[in-house]
Amino acid sequence: MTRRLPKLSALLVLALASAPMLHAQAGAAIPPPVFLWPNGAPGTLGNAEADKPRMYAFLPKTRSTSAAVLVIPGGGYEHVAMGHEGFQIATWLNAQGIPAFVLDYRVKPYRYPVEIDDGRRAMRLIRAHAAEYGINPNRLGVWGSSAGGHLASSLGTHCESATTTETNTAPANTDSIDSQSCKPNFMVLEYPVITMEAPEAHHGSALNLLGANPDPALRREYSNQFAVTAQTPPTFIWATTKDPTVPVENSLDFYRALERHHVSAELHIYDYADHGCGLCGSISPLSTWPMLLRNWLLVHSFLPPNAPPAPAPEPNSAFWPQGLTGPGQYNP
Mean pLDDT, rounded, for 119-136:
97
pLDDT in tens, 146-175: 999 999 999 999 997 554 444 444 444 567
What is the model's pLDDT at position 28? 64
What is the model's pLDDT at position 250? 98
Give the burial string for 7-17 (b: 16+ CB within 10 Å, else e): ebeebeeebee
In this predicted structure, the answer to whether residue 318 has a pLDDT above a threshold of 80 is yes
What is the model's pLDDT at position 221? 97
Mean pLDDT, rounded, for 213-236:
97
Q: Assign residue 276 a region (left: φ > 0; alpha: ψ between -120 and 50; beta: otherwise).
A: left
CATH code for the domain defined by 46-299: 3.40.50.1820
Mean pLDDT, rounded, for 204-210:
98
Mean pLDDT, rounded, for 129-136:
97
In this predicted structure, the answer to whether residue 50 has a pLDDT above a threshold of 60 is yes
In this predicted structure, the answer to whether residue 9 has a pLDDT above a threshold of 90 is no
Nearest to 268 by CA among 303, 293, 298: 293
Confidence of residue 89 (pLDDT cuts 50, 70, 90): very high
Nearest to 121 by CA among 32, 41, 59: 41
Mean pLDDT across the chain: 90
In this predicted structure, the answer to whether residue 56 has a pLDDT above a threshold of 60 is yes
Confidence of residue 18 (pLDDT cuts 50, 70, 90): very low
Mean pLDDT, rounded, for 78-91:
97
What is the model's pLDDT at position 24? 59
Confidence of residue 23 (pLDDT cuts 50, 70, 90): low
Helix (H, G, I), strand (E, B) or coil at 313: coil
What is the model's pLDDT at position 8? 43
Nearest to 275 by CA among 79, 75, 119: 75
What is the model's pLDDT at position 33? 97
Integer Cα distance of 174 and 277 in angstroms: 37
pTM for this prediction? 0.91
Helix H, strand E, coil C: the string for 261-284 is CCCCEEEEEECCCCCCCCCCCCCC
Mean pLDDT, rounded, for 319-330:
93
In this predicted structure, the answer to whether residue 237 has a pLDDT above a threshold of 60 is yes
Express as a percent the part of the chain with pLDDT over 90: 83
Contact 250, 195 (CB under 8 A): yes
Mean pLDDT, rounded, for 84-99:
97
Integer Cα distance of 149 and 81 in angstroms: 12
pLDDT in tens, 193-205: 999 999 999 999 9
Mean pLDDT, rounded, for 83-99:
97
Mean pLDDT, rounded, for 51-79:
97
Express as a percent the part of the chain with pLDDT over 70: 87
What is the model's pLDDT at position 17? 34
Domain-wise residue ranges, the chain: 46-299
In this predicted structure, the answer to whether residue 6 has a pLDDT above a threshold of 70 is no
